[in-house]
Amino acid sequence: MSSQRRAQVLAVGAATVAVLALVAVMLLPVGEESAQTVESVQLTVPDSGEPTTTTSSTTTTVPGPPAAERRLSKLRTIAGEITPKSIVTSGTGFATAQNMMYTHTVTAYDADGNLVATIPDRVRLSDFGIDKEGEYQGAPVEAAFLHDGSAVYVSNYSMYGPGFREGDDECSPADGVPPSYLYRIGTDDWKIDQVVPVGAVPKYVAVTPDDGRVLTTNWCSWDLTVSSTEDGRELASIELGRYPRGIAVSPDGRTAYVAIMGDTKVAAVSLDDYSVRWLEGVGLGPRHVVLSPDGRWLYSTNNKGGTVSKVDTTTGEVVADVSTGTQPRSMDISTDGTALYVVNYGSDSMTKLATEDMRELEEVPTGANPIGISYDDSTGRVWVASYAGTIDVYDELN
């Protein structure tokens, strides 16, 4: 076949594919979200000179009503040998539960809640270049995925083995609690492939948008550790005061907002020069923070105050402060930014709020003492971890 004829065939084929794709989109239901299997058609010209067509299937999610207009419906409850302190979804089809304190595992699930791996927290630190011989165990607390879903970082409340002692919920840097570590677990084989030194009693973990740095709040050393994801080395340690916990990183990757649970304020840490400014009077005992997709609004659960605050990050003004249930703990935000999901530890419930005016949309029962929550960007499902030993998975219906 001549090069001119080959070009004509390819042009006609490409136009046909474009028209078929447009027709398929036009036939989809308007205003409904449903998983659609889309065949990707590619025209190739092998050595024989004749064009051939190959197809491959991928799954995409068709946009539908905003999250604030949907209703929660429980899909399933997961139980077993778990004591989840937190649950986190990757947005790429996985979720992990961090089973604290003495279960000593991380359990991994697919997007439907099926168990895919149980990862023990036992390691040989010397295998990762750390000068400590023998085997050690951790105590998984919180986690954060790389944005491509290839790995997840898990914090360990304490390490167990020679030279370590267990941390405490009431502590200070003067108490001499030993530093701990993050584990990085690859999602291809669910094995620990990196160990990152951090501070004493690490709690929350966050990854910058470019996946270049991992941030860790350290409960007993009262600081924030910034580490390189490439090699695990410490890039900075920023003192923040009594009991730093939740972290939210701005969409541009330039600011990390850190909840200071022993106070009423949130630290705004510059990730350019590691300087700190403060958002004052956010609430009593800020525990967990999330940001709106554009970074304009910060939301904080205030554990001691029993409220959720909405803060303007440009002015520091608290524009709303609403009550949910007893002891609001963790929280997450929908991908579209229209809804917040808050677990109420003392009320055994989850409250859904509209971000626009902070009104309550609904409250649903959960397992006993819900402690962790995650909104799955890939499915729109909400996962809730409860200390009683269960994980509830909720669908959001139109």
* Cα 75 from Cα 110, distance rounded (Å): 14
Residue 64's pLDDT is 81
**Cβ-contact 38, 55 below 8 angstroms:** no
Which residues are registered as beta bridge partners of 59?
37
129: its two tokens: 């270049």
Residue 63's pLDDT is 59
321-372 pLDDT, tens digit per residue, is 999 999 999 999 999 999 999 999 999 999 999 999 999 999 999 999 999 9
**Cβ-contact 306, 328 below 8 angstroms:** yes
> Is 255 in a helix, a strand, or coil?
strand
Fold assignment, 67-397: Methylamine Dehydrogenase; Chain H (2.130.10)
2-34 pLDDT, tens digit per residue, is 444 444 433 434 444 343 333 333 333 333 333
Residue 112's pLDDT is 96
75: its two tokens: 């899909």
Task: Kindly report whether the peptide bond that precedes residue 101 is cis, defined as omega within 30 degrees of 0.
Answer: yes
**Cβ-contact 304, 298 below 8 angstroms:** no
DSSP for 149-206, please give it.
SSEEEEEES--BSTT-----SS--GGG-PPP-EEEEEETTTTEEEEEEE--SSEEEEE
Give helix then strand counts, H and E, for the chain.
1, 32
208-229 pLDDT, tens digit per residue, is 999 999 999 999 999 999 999 9
Place of tokens 């554009």: 294
Taking CA atoms, 264 is separated from 123, 286, 328, in Å, by 38, 6, 15
Q: If we measure between CA atoms, which residue out of 73, 41, 124 comes closest to residue 394?
A: 73
Stretches where the chain sits below pLDDT 50 are 1-62
Taking CA atoms, 337 is separated from 5, 253, 259, 273, 294, in Å, by 50, 18, 20, 29, 9
Q: If we measure between CA atoms, which residue out of 109, 130, 249, 244 comes closest to residue 180?
A: 130
* Cα 158 from Cα 139, distance rounded (Å): 6
321 Cβ contact partners less than 8 Å away, ≥ 6 residues apart: 283, 302, 305, 307, 308, 309, 310
> Is 7 in a helix, a strand, or coil?
helix
The pTM is what? 0.84
Is residue 88 exposed (0-12), middle (13-18) or buried (19+ Cβ within 10 Å)?
buried
| CATH 2.130.10.10 domain span(s) along the chain | 67-397
Which residues are registered as beta bridge partners of 386?
370, 390
Q: If we measure between CA atoms, which residue out of 281, 275, 233, 230 comes closest to residue 254?
A: 275
